[in-house]
């Protein structure tokens, strides 16, 4: 085992983990191997000298009072857990039988040599090292992708299982796009490249470490808009809130603190090129961009667009709003299958109730009176005289 530290460094480089992380895994492997070879209740410490490329395992026994509960340790697994004398602790009376000068808290140490156990030690150390290195790799991956939660991931479809879960290869990990996180009507096949929002990094007994993806979350819409609209990416335009009925329609509330920037124009782009790019990615989902207002009445009025409302009364305590609206605007406010009012409610956070009032907003223009046109141009002749 003379060159084992060089091997650990090589493994760290090959697996893409830090040298420090690999060394910690090596320490844990040494301690567990020592316990396997001696006692599962023993306590060990490992000291690694990277200059001399050597390590030392020390068995440690701590002196405790005679009535200390730690003198007995639990071993086994439920329901077969049992208590046995611990090899990590020794009672004060027992310790004094060896050395009268020992006191509570003192530690007895003994060097533990793996070489004394030959091939058995090597086999156990290899298994433990493999296990702990893999745990370190998974931990590093977990931390890496945990920082990316809420961002758009791009991957390749590996397969679609019987439950219609789409398995996506993303970097070193596998992503799973479940049926409920997929836009209605979407179908993917092996080899397709898809974009999705990273919702969580999960560890599951069935799938191991995997990424939970979504194409239906409002945050996915926001992330796509951030990629398409430079003003949102640099923070000059802010997405305050968003609501979606995936594949149907969405509303996005925008604001800016810069008077020379039109948040709606920036989001839509020239001839709608920016918002259309987002809509295409969302299977043609219609996206309404509205300007946010901190005044609830104004915000709700804008959220119910394209309907024109007469009056809005808000109760901030109960988060309820009563909207007066004429009969010719009511259908627009509700929208097809109630989509418009549902989205407005989700966007503003208010429970919106429509109150129909008398009146008509959109009137048909009255027929203009026919005016007799003149064909006499004599009045203009003087303009062309020399």
> In this predicted model, which residue has the larger pLDDT, 241 or 368?
241
Q: Indicate the fold that domain 217-292 takes in CATH.
A: GMP Synthetase; Chain A, domain 3 (3.30.300)
Q: Count the alpha carbons within 13 Å of 130 in the hemisphere toward its beta carbon.
A: 6
| CA–CA separation, 116 and 194 (whole Å) | 56
- Reduced to 3 states (helix: H, G, I; strand: E, B; else coil), residue 203 is strand
Asked whether residue 384 carries a pLDDT value surpassing 90, the answer given is no
Q: Specify the residue for token string 């993917």.
A: 188
Average of per-residue pLDDT values in the chain: 88
DSSP conformational letter for 185: T
Q: For 85-106, how does the pLDDT look when each residue is reduced to its tens digit (9 = 90+)?
A: 889 999 999 988 888 888 999 9
Strands 249-256 and 237-245: antiparallel
Q: What is the mean pLDDT of residues 262-271?
A: 94
pLDDT of residue 378: 58
Q: Which CATH code fits 4-144?
A: 3.30.1480
pLDDT of residue 368: 41
**DSSP H/E element including 303:** helix 296-303
Instruction: Give residue 209's Cα distance to chain centre.
Output: 14
> In this predicted model, which residue has the larger pLDDT, 385 or 121?
121
Asked whether residue 187 carries a pLDDT value surpassing 60, the answer given is yes
**Burial state string for 40-66 with b = 16 or more CB within 10 A and e = fewer than 16:** ebbbbbbebeeeeeebebebebbbbee
- Reduced to 3 states (helix: H, G, I; strand: E, B; else coil), residue 187 is coil
Asked whether residue 140 carries a pLDDT value surpassing 60, the answer given is yes
What is the dihedral sign for C-alpha 126, 131, 133, 134?
Answer: positive
Let me know if the fold of 217-292 is the same as that of 294-362: yes
Q: For 329-342, how does the pLDDT look when each residue is reduced to its tens digit (9 = 90+)?
A: 999 999 999 999 99
**CATH architecture for the domain at 294-362:** 2-Layer Sandwich (3.30)
Q: For 150-169, how does the pLDDT look when each residue is reduced to its tens digit (9 = 90+)?
A: 999 999 999 998 888 999 99
| CA–CA separation, 266 and 242 (whole Å) | 17
Whether residue 145 contacts residue 154, with contact meaning beta carbons closer than 8 Å, is answered with no
Q: Indicate the fold that domain 153-214 takes in CATH.
A: OB fold (Dihydrolipoamide Acetyltransferase, E2P) (2.40.50)
| CA–CA separation, 224 and 150 (whole Å) | 11
Domain residue spans in the chain? 4-144, 153-214, 217-292, 294-362
């Amino acid at each position: 085992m003379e060159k084992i530290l060089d091997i650990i460094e090589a493994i760290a480089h090959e697996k893409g983990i830090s040298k420090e992380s690999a060394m910690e895994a090596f320490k844990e492997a040494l301690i567990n191997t020592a316990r396997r070879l001696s006692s599962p209740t023993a306590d060990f410490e490992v000291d690694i000298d990277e200059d001399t490329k050597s390590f030392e395992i020390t068995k440690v026994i701590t002196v405790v009072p005679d009535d200390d509960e730690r003198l007995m340790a639990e071993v086994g697994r439920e329901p077969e857990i049992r208590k046995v004398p611990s090899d990590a602790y020794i009672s004060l009376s027992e310790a004094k039988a060896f050395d009268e000068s020992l006191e509570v808290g003192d530690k007895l140490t003994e060097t533990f040599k793996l070489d004394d156990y030959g091939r058995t030690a090597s086999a156990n150390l290899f298994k433990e090292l493999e296990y702990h290195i893999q745990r370190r790799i998974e931990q590093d991956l977990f931390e890496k992708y945990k920082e990316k939660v809420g961002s758009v991931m791009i991957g390749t479809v590996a397969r679609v299982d019987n439950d219609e879960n789409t398995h996506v290869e993303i970097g070193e990990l596998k992503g799973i796009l479940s049926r409920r996180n997929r836009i209605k009507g979407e179908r993917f096949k092996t080899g397709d490249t898809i974009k999705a929002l990273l919702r969580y990094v999960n560890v599951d007994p069935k799938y191991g470490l995997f990424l939970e993806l979504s194409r239906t979350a409002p945050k996915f819409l926001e992330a796509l808009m951030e990629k398409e609209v430079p003003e949102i990416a640099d923070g000059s335009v802010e997405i305050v809130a968003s609501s979606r009925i995936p594949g149907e329609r969405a509303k996005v509330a925008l604001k800016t603190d810069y008077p020379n920037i039109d948040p709606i124009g920036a989001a839509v782009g020239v001839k709608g090129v920016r918002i259309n790019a987002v809509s295409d990615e969302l299977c043609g989902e219609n996206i309404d961009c509205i300007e946010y207002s901190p005044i609830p009445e104004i915000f709700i009025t804008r959220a119910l667009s394209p309907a024109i409302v007469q009056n809005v009364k808000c109760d901030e305590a109960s988060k309820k709003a009563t909207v007066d609206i004429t009969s010719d605007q009511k259908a627009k406010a509700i929208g097809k299958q109630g989509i418009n009012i549902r989205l407005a409610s989700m966007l503003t956070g208010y429970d919106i109730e429509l109150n129909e009032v008398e009146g008509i907003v959109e009137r048909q223009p009255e027929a203009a009176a026919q005016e007799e046109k003149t064909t006499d141009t004599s009045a203009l002749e003087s303009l062309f005289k020399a």
